Amino acid sequence: MNKEPIVIAIDGTSASGKSTNARLVARALGFVYVDTGAMYRTLAWHCLEAGVNVDDPRAVAALCRRWQTTLACVDRQVRLLVDGYYPEKEIRTARTSEAVPRVASVPKVREWMKKLQRSCLQFGSLVMEGRDIGSNIFPETGFKFYLDAALAERSKRRASEGVEENLAARDQRDSQRAAAPLMIPLGALVINNSALTAEQTSGAILAEIRRRLAEA
C-alpha cells in the first residue's frame, strides 16, 4: 500500500451503520479506527461532569479550550483521554447522548475537534467515521463514503440497541447547523444499506477501496 497514511472517510446519518462498518473495514485493512462521535460524546460528558451548561456555546467553547486531553491508540482504536481517563461507559448514557448535538453545534468546538482529528494521522492509516470527515476534516482524501438508510430502518436499529432517539430531529439538527453541517461529501460513494447486512455494506466499501488502490 501507499507509504503515506491513507484516510478512509465514512460519513452518514445516525444509525446508518457507520461505527459497525468502519470497524469492519479498519479490521480488514489493518488500519486504525477513529470514532469522532465518541470525541464529541467525551466533551459532552465532561461538560455535564463540570456543571457547564451545554446550551451555552461560550461556556462550552471555553471548557473545550482548557480541558486536559491526550490521544491514545489502544488496540488500533484512537481514544480521547480526559486527564488520562477514557469514559468508555459514561459517554454512552442517555444523558450524555442528549447533550451531544448541543456541544457539537458550537463552531469553536468544531474548530478544536478538526485540529485534534487531523492529528490522528500520527497513528498511521485511518478509517475515520463521523458526520463531516469527507466534507470538513479530510476533504482531500480520495476515499469517501456516505452511508444512509430509510428513517424507519434506522429507528428500528436504534430501538434494538435500547436507545430512544428522535432521528428525524437529529438529522435536521445535523444538516442545518452552521458549523460543518452533515452533507454528502464531494466525490463520496453513497451507500443506502436499508436492506443490506453489515457484511454486505463493508464488503462494498472494501471492494471500492481496493479498486481505487489498484488504479493508483
pLDDT tens for 46-61 read: 999 999 999 999 999 9
Topology of the domain comprising 36-121: Rossmann fold (3.40.50)
The architecture in CATH of the region 1-31+124-216 reads 3-Layer(aba) Sandwich (3.40)
Q: Quickly tell me which residue has 486527564 as its cell.
A: 83
CATH 3.40.50.300 in the chain, residue ranges: 1-31+124-216, 36-121
pTM value is: 0.91
> pLDDT tens digit string along 133-185?
999 999 999 999 999 999 999 989 888 877 777 887 877 877 877 777 778 99
Q: Rounded CA gap, 167 and 96, in Å?
A: 16
Q: Kindly tell me the burial class for residue 71, based on how many C-beta atoms sit within 10 Å of its own C-beta (0-12, 13-18, 19 or more).
A: middle
Confidence of residue 89 (pLDDT cuts 50, 70, 90): very high
Work out the percent of the chain whose per-residue pLDDT is above 90: 79
